[in-house]
């Protein structure tokens, strides 16, 4: 079967760095995405990893290890507006490029 | 401005009614998707399409149907709404390469009473 695991909740302090981990067990891996979703809103795309290594985009970085089925999202210089759910998603190339989503990690940023 | 639009934003409807949730995108994307999401839960794929006249069922069993007669339009129809259909429905689109991820609409929050 297909499975994506991420912590349910995390709390961090404004200005700090936080790492959100994601492990996956899927067949036909085609790439891994991270999305941000504020309460009551639609997810917005943050990053995409298809090869092993680190992808950096401003305050956000995402890492992938395909052999370990592992990814993390790193958020630096946390701001209050970063309080949201962060969804790890895997694109499969079996049955045609479907994407499955984890349940998300709710991040609370405190002052 | 290229975007993806869903209507209605909120809908309260009685059991047994037929409803259609609208989704349109102006980005020229070939791939379109419908996901269902309950509060605090993961997104579940219910239908997807790779282009005009292409539709497939997703992983979540659903009494809904979709059509893709035009590239930009991907409506979702519930023939007979039930309280178990109460949820948020998210439409999304992507290009073939997917490097840019999915672009999601604002969603339709459906309540069946």
**pLDDT, tens digit (0-9, with 9 covering 90-100), for A65-87:** 999 999 999 999 999 999 999 99
What is the residue-averaged pLDDT of chain A?
93
Within 13 A of B107's CA, how many CA atoms are on the CB side?
22
Question: Per-residue pLDDT for chain B (113 aa), expressed as one digit of tens each?
Answer: 669 999 999 999 999 999 999 999 999 999 999 999 998 888 999 999 989 999 998 877 678 999 999 999 999 999 999 999 999 999 999 987 666 789 999 999 999 99
Give the list of residues 6+ apart from residue A58 with CB closer than 8 angstroms, or none. Answer: none
Residues of A in contact with B50 (CB under 8 A): 96
Give the model's pLDDT for residue A98: 79
Position A94 confidence tier, pLDDT thresholds 50, 70, 90: low
How far is Cα A24 from Cα A12, in angstroms, rounded to an integer? 24
Cross-chain Cβ contact A44/B104 below 8 Å: yes
Tell me if B58 sits within 8 A of B36, measured CB to CB.
no
Position A92 confidence tier, pLDDT thresholds 50, 70, 90: confident
User: How near does any CA of chain B get to the CA of A3, in Å?
Assistant: 11
SS3 call for A55: strand
Dig out the tokens for A18 from the structure: 């936080």
Dig out the tokens for A40 from the structure: 């009551």
CA nearest to B30, candidates B48, B7, B18 = B48
Cross-chain Cβ contact A35/B98 below 8 Å: no
């Amino acid at each position: 079967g297909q499975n994506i695991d991420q912590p349910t909740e995390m709390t961090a302090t404004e200005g700090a760095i936080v790492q959100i981990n994601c492990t996956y067990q899927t067949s036909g891996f085609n790439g891994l995405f991270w999305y941000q979703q504020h309460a009551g809103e639609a997810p917005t795309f943050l990053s995409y990893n298809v090869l092993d290594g680190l992808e950096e985009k401003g305050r956000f970085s995402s890492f992938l290890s395909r052999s370990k089925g592992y990814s993390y999202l790193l958020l630096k210089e946390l701001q209050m507006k970063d309080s949201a759910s962060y969804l790890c998603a895997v694109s499969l190339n079996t049955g045609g490029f479907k994407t499955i989503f984890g349940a998300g990690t709710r991040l609370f940023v405190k002052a | 401005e290229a975007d993806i639009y869903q209507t209605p934003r909120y809908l309260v409807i009685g059991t047994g009614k037929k409803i259609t949730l609208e989704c349109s995108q102006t980005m020229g994307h070939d791939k379109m998707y419908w996901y269902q999401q309950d509060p605090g839960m993961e997104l579940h794929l219910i239908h997807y399409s790779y282009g005009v006249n292409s539709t497939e069922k997703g992983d979540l069993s659903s009494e809904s149907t979709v059509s893709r007669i035009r590239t930009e339009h991907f409506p979702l129809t519930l023939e007979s709404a039930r309280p178990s259909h109460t949820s948020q429905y998210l439409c999304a689109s992507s290009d073939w390469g997917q490097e840019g991820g999915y672009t999601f609409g604002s969603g339709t929050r459906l309540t069946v009473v």
